[in-house]
Amino acid sequence: MTTEQHRIETSATTGRSAETDSSCGWRCNVHGFYYMWYRSKERDGAWAHWNHRRLPHWDPQIAKKYSQDEHVPENDDIGSSYWPQLGPYSSLDPQVIATHMEMMKRAGIGVVVVSWYPPGLHDPALDGRNETVELIGSLLLDAAWDHGMRIAIHLEPYEGRDPVSVRKDFEYIHRHYGSHPALHRVASTHGGALLPLVYIYDSYHNSPEEWARLLSPGGDISVRGKDGFDCTAIFLWVEATHAAYAKSGFDGFYTYFAATGFVYGSTPSNWPHMSRVARDEGIYFIPSVGPGYIDVEVRPWNYANTRDRRGGGYFDDMFTEAAKLQPEMVSITSFNEWHEGTNIEPAVDGKSTLASLKWPSRDYLSYGTDPEFYLTKTRQWAERIFEPSHDPVTEAIGKSSDAQYYVNKKFADSVEAVTWELDENKFSRDVLCTTVRQQMVGKLPTAITRGFARCGYVTSSTCEEDLADFSRKAVGVEEEMTSASQGSIIESISAFLR
């Protein structure tokens, strides 16, 4: 499979373009935080996270007022104020992963940002197990690729994490995931190379000076342009003083928290200043937006930080503030952090009458009448901020998500390797014909990014002769396709590719 390159429109935040190697187009600007820590007793032999215990308050006098018991999923009692439409699932279930990819794609999310611990370390609730690190390599990247999605890493603050250990993490990411085309790459602000995108949660645990050792070109353990293990590194801006990290070699920053006003970084009125810092330093500002916040099923004493969803109004407000800044990228907190009630994954309130599923007996909060309400709203806002061009290819492909997947998938491989085995009844003639014809004629830059050229990148000067030859052949194929049946269209494409 060839690596493809797509340019995102210039952003007002930095005055330059961000580049990404993926073919998911404008959706690559929309990142969703994704958690794979859920386990089910039926599939995995024991619960994890759905049975989350209620955490004690740090003040013993307050702590004693609240239960510290675990939740009991067998009794329809989970550690969340919402009940997932899929029920308390296992994150290791391939069908769940595929369904999640489909959901996120419908939401306009192109990059799945996966919570990650390095080998030998793990989320405390998983009893020494860290299946995620292997699962990314064996399943998640393939699932993302199959759905036209990409994977980025959300590096958790494991015990002993520091810039020295993070250098090893970068090396692991490159060695074990780096050859896969679904690993999301974004242009580094240090030279513009397309590098794996890594969000570093709680980056403030180390000082800016410590991070500069790793991320500045002159650092004593610098990865910048060395060893092949460099990454596009994003720090978490929490407090006002964290502006100092913008000068320590990071490529950008994000805000993560969905509770507005909770910290400096999650307060949208501070975002214009933060955006100016990004512009001045030439780095990325990736605001994080969320639908609301409620974590009282795991922190029963924390009602003060609840943020009511207001029927989608809260989400609208955060997105509005993000949109004003024209950021290169936006992150969604979250797809499925159910404990903190930031989930946009479809949820039900237990009062539905669908007979095919087991509905909880406990009362849960509701999205309203549509379990996919927040998927739809995310998509609407993503399109508003990162509106796709009116290129005929984009519009034609958009008429059918199945056709989009099929065409992108087939043309992502090298020209010589492509074969066409399409059921004549799978797609409408109009969608297939228009999609492929428009890719072939008059849209060479788009066609190249779809994988037609025999070179890897749009910007490569070695492609000029191939492009001229390609253009001549494409016109001939277009003429044949104008009035051809769907079956003969496929035959024509096959002949062209041979």
Please determine, for residue 406, whether its predicted confidence score (pLDDT) is greater than 50: no
Q: Does domain 6-385 have CATH number 3.20.20.80?
A: yes
**pLDDT reported for residue 402:** 38
**pLDDT reported for residue 403:** 41
Please determine, for residue 437, whether its predicted confidence score (pLDDT) is greater than 60: no
- Chain segment 91-146, per-residue pLDDT in tens: 999 999 999 999 999 999 999 999 999 998 888 877 767 778 888 888 999 999 99
Average pLDDT of the chain is 79
Residue 337 pLDDT grade (very low, low, confident, very high; cuts 50, 70, 90): very high
Alpha carbons 346 and 86: distance in angstroms, whole number? 8
**pLDDT reported for residue 295:** 98
Strands (E), 212-323: 232-236, 252-254, 284-286, 288-289
């990454």: which residue's tokens? 231
Token representation of residue 228 = 């092949």
103 exposure class (CB count in 10 Å sphere: 0-12, 13-18, 19+): buried
CB 329 within 8 A of CB 18: yes
Please determine, for residue 350, whether its predicted confidence score (pLDDT) is greater than 80: no
Q: Between residues 231 and 480, which one has the greater pLDDT?
A: 231
CB 224 within 8 A of CB 230: yes
Token representation of residue 262 = 């909770």
Please state the domain extents for the chain.
6-385, 392-497
Helix, strand or coil, per DSSP, at residue 39 = strand
- Chain segment 187-228, per-residue pLDDT in tens: 999 989 999 999 999 999 999 999 999 999 999 999 998 878
Please determine, for residue 13, whether its predicted confidence score (pLDDT) is greater than 70: no
